[in-house]
Amino acid sequence: MNEGLSISSPRISPYALTLSSADRAALKSQRARCVWLTGLSGAGKSTLANALEVYLNQHGLHTYVLDGDNVRAGLCRDLGMGADCRRENIRRMAQVARLMVDAGLIVIVAAISPFRAEREAARKLFCKGDFIEVFVSTSFAVCAQRDPKGLYQKARQGLIRDFTGVDSPYEAPLKAECEIDTQALDMAEACQHLAGFLLKK
């Protein structure tokens, strides 16, 4: 990495700001946190993240959704789909989420984020209790049947490679704070369940 861009470079000295995340969140009458939705493609992460944001917004809370495909279209458009690029994609999303939580927002991340190590690295960026991992545990069979983007079919035909669940692994969370199966719950029920869990905390 170029020395001028490295955090270990003597040229870089992060400035200590006076206001804290709690100070900024207090103006919004909320607790800032990161709600991280992980699961297979087609599990319902983006739909649930969107529904949750609408629900929280209607209850006067200040939010933002970081959706995996949306971030891939901009900030991470230079990254491929191999394992190293996927790790970097999650690292960038986690860093952006941390900045948004520091700004006092409730940030909802919807990303496959298939590797436990990267999700744990993301968790470590936040204060205790400010990172809530939500496992959208809809099964592979159901996700592949839904196949909303046609990606499972293309992966099985060999048209795309390194596709999670087909030729790239998905490491399910071991201790997620919340688990939601969108096969067992319709989206309204899933949203109510997750919102209720968050508001209790």
- Which residues are catalytic, by number? 113
DSSP reduced 3-state for 155: helix
**Quick check: helix, strand or coil at residue 1?**
coil
* Helix, strand or coil, per DSSP, at residue 16: coil
Name the token pair of 134: 């939500």
Rounded Cα distance between 12 and 9, Å, is 6
Cα-based distances in Å from 67 to 30, 77, 119, 127: 22, 13, 15, 22
Distance CA 77, CA 83 (A): 15
CA nearest to 121, candidates 140, 98, 100: 98
Non-local (6+) Cβ contacts of 106 within 8 A are 30, 31, 32, 33, 35, 56, 61, 62, 63, 64
